[in-house]
Amino acid sequence: MKFLKQIFRKRIETTLTITSKNGFHLRPIAKFVNETKSFQAQISIKSKGEEVSAKQVPKILTLGLEEGDSFILSCTGKDAQKASKHLSSFFKQIMKEDNLNVVEEIEQEDEEYEGSTLSGYSIAKGVAISSIVLYKKIEHKGNHKGLPLRDAIAKTQEELTRLYEANKTKDEAHIYLAQKELLNSEIFDKNFENIDREIERLIGTKFESRVADYQDLKEKILSYMGIKTELKLPDTPYILLANDLLPSEVGIIAKTSIQGVILQRGTPTSHASILLRSEAIPSIIINNSICDKGNSCNYPNAILDANSGDLILKPTESDLKKAQIKQQKFKEQQAQSYKKRFESTKTKSGKEIQILANIADLESAKEAKEQGADGVGLFRTEFLFTEVKPTLEQQTKTYAEIFNLFETITIRTLDIGGDKSLPYINIPKENNPFLGIRGIRFSLQEETLLREQLQAILVGATISNNRTNPTIKIMFPMISTIDEFTQAKNIAIEVAQKKSINIENIQFGIMLEVPCVIFAIKEFDKIVDFYSIGTNDLTQYLFAIERTHPTLTADATSPMIFSALKQIIETTQKPISICGELAGLEDATERLIEMGYSTLSLSAKLIPSLKERIRNI
């Protein structure tokens, strides 16, 4: 008994570093806090002389952890060891994901207007010409008796859960998860005084953008208590001027005749900014006073040029004409890209380029279809395995549903290791996990898991309702030797023979991400059906810099990367595509096509604009 108490009291500490350029902000904190709930352990975070609960979002927020800062993850209790290992890996993963979501600064065009011009920062591109309307709210009590506070909080939690589930594949999904975790904190335990104190504490600090989330939650709760607050908005077209917007208000104004938004507070990474971009509402931030107190802000023909970041309150006739031409041109470009998203993509010289999508689940597959993807270039299957081991039936059903959507699908077998782990499989700790048991090495070590996944893929292909008899391309990750590929393919063939599955429409290929393969392409050409270049990992291994390293970074567009890509395309005789981040970078597109690459795979939301860009090459 004494021995068990000692085990439960044992404290396991791990030092972790913030590697995201955004810092450890609300959205990744919410994901992290949500993950801590699956462990029977006391989990805390120690940094800057303070120790706070890792299960309370506001507590972690108070630490103000930014890129380069470190903290100690401390776990005590029954699941301490398991929690420490999983949460450390999970943290590195969300840092990596958050870095992919760093908001790129919009390159503002140079523009000259005759009227007096106020300059700001662009949130979402576009040009608006309309009257300016001040942000106003009206509070009124409903006719029915509202719910008690605790019940109102529960209803708000249910609402946020619905919003998260409905938007799971979109950027804004994690805003709702973040708000839900914020709502679970002790700040919302008893009354609104704690919330008001927290809001007051944040005003004037670098964390002021969080105020909108607290205010948003407060208003949601009050609405279930019978006190509703509504925006006063006109029926005619308008440009809204506000200090800031609550996340929930963006969806409301998007359904009105809104033409544009001017914020006098906030940042490009705030939740309101993210949602304004997702709704494609032309928006800018101007951090100075535009209308004095008491001024009705009577500007009937203001120009909001979010392409240049300019606001012209009293434009001349020449200004209005220029803005109207820009507005029409921008709208035509956007509409043209989306309208033509299902058309084939050819350069001006007539070279056809296939644009595929990177997907992770059924929802993202449906989004890819809607965005005009010609097929799937990378189906990441890890999502099925992250929490609990999926059954053969679950896998088969999911694969078949996705195979129904496209004629060509490249599905990658489980890619575990490095910064990705599974809670139900013990992977021994390694000093250099990115150079250890990951990708195909993990799968060949966990052969039962690989055989089951291959069976699910092969059966899923046979039961698919897709009448076009889709080509299923099975891709093995992190292949570095001929033997690894041969072993993996032979396992697939054995599974097919055992289950009497016809694999005539199945192709087998590899992720080309380990540099040694570049020097053995002629040998690999004899046995593989295709290659897909994972430029993220290829860059990592070429520069010997771990992707999640806190201080070192590798240039994804380095001449050395393009030199390697040139050598690959000039050597291989087999079909080849690019599915890493490089495929979606504007600066890289033309160079890749010039080299001879004709198949690119990227995030679905980038597909319409990339297709249109290629048509102008």
The structure tokens listed for 228 are 């509703």
- What's the pTM? 0.58
Q: What is the pLDDT of residue 310?
A: 93
Q: What is the pLDDT of residues 541-574, one digit of tens each?
A: 999 987 655 456 677 788 899 999 999 999 999 9
Reported as a pLDDT band with limits 50, 70 and 90, residue 241 is very high
Could you write out the DSSP letters of every residue in 307-359? TTTEEESS--HHHHHHHHHHHHHHHHHHHHHHHTTTS-EE-TT--EEEEEEEE
Ordered strands of the 127-130 beta sheet: 117-119, 310-312, 302-305, 127-130
Count the residues in the chain. Answer: 617
Judging by beta carbons within 10 Å of its beta carbon (0-12, 13-18, 19+), is residue 592 exposed, middle or buried? buried
Mean pLDDT of the chain: 86
Q: What is the pLDDT of residue 60?
A: 87
Percent of the chain past pLDDT 90, that is, above it, reads 43
Residue 386 DSSP class: S
Reported as a pLDDT band with limits 50, 70 and 90, residue 7 is very low
Asked whether the predicted pLDDT for residue 460 surpasses 80, the reply is yes
Q: What is the pLDDT of residue 468?
A: 66
Q: What is the pLDDT of residue 166?
A: 64
Distance CA 410, CA 22 (A): 32
Contacts with 94 (C-beta within 8 Å, 6 or more apart), sequence order:
28, 31, 32
Q: What is the pLDDT of residues 340-386, one digit of tens each?
A: 888 889 999 999 999 999 998 888 899 899 999 999 999 999 888 87
The structure tokens listed for 121 are 């920062």
Distance CA 578, CA 538 (A): 11
Distance CA 121, CA 309 (A): 5
Reported as a pLDDT band with limits 50, 70 and 90, residue 102 is low
Could you tell me if 423 and 382 are in contact, meaning their C-beta atoms sit under 8 angstroms apart?
no
Q: What is the pLDDT of residue 25?
A: 82
457-494: string of b/e by CB count within 10 Å (b at 16+)?
bbbbbbebeeeeebbbbbbbbbbbeeebbebbbebbee
Nearest to 26 by CA among 63, 79, 81: 63
Place of tokens 């434009």: 315
Reported as a pLDDT band with limits 50, 70 and 90, residue 6 is very low
Reported as a pLDDT band with limits 50, 70 and 90, residue 1 is very low
Cα 220-276-244 angle, rounded to 5 deg:
60
Q: What is the pLDDT of residue 214?
A: 84
The structure tokens listed for 243 are 């200090």
Higher per-residue confidence, 58 vs 142: 58
DSSP 3-state assignment of 138?
A: strand
The structure tokens listed for 446 are 């966990």
Q: What is the pLDDT of residue 291?
A: 79
Distance CA 375, CA 205 (A): 47
Q: What is the pLDDT of residue 88?
A: 92
Asked whether the predicted pLDDT for residue 61 surpasses 90, the reply is no
Residues assigned a catalytic role: 271, 579
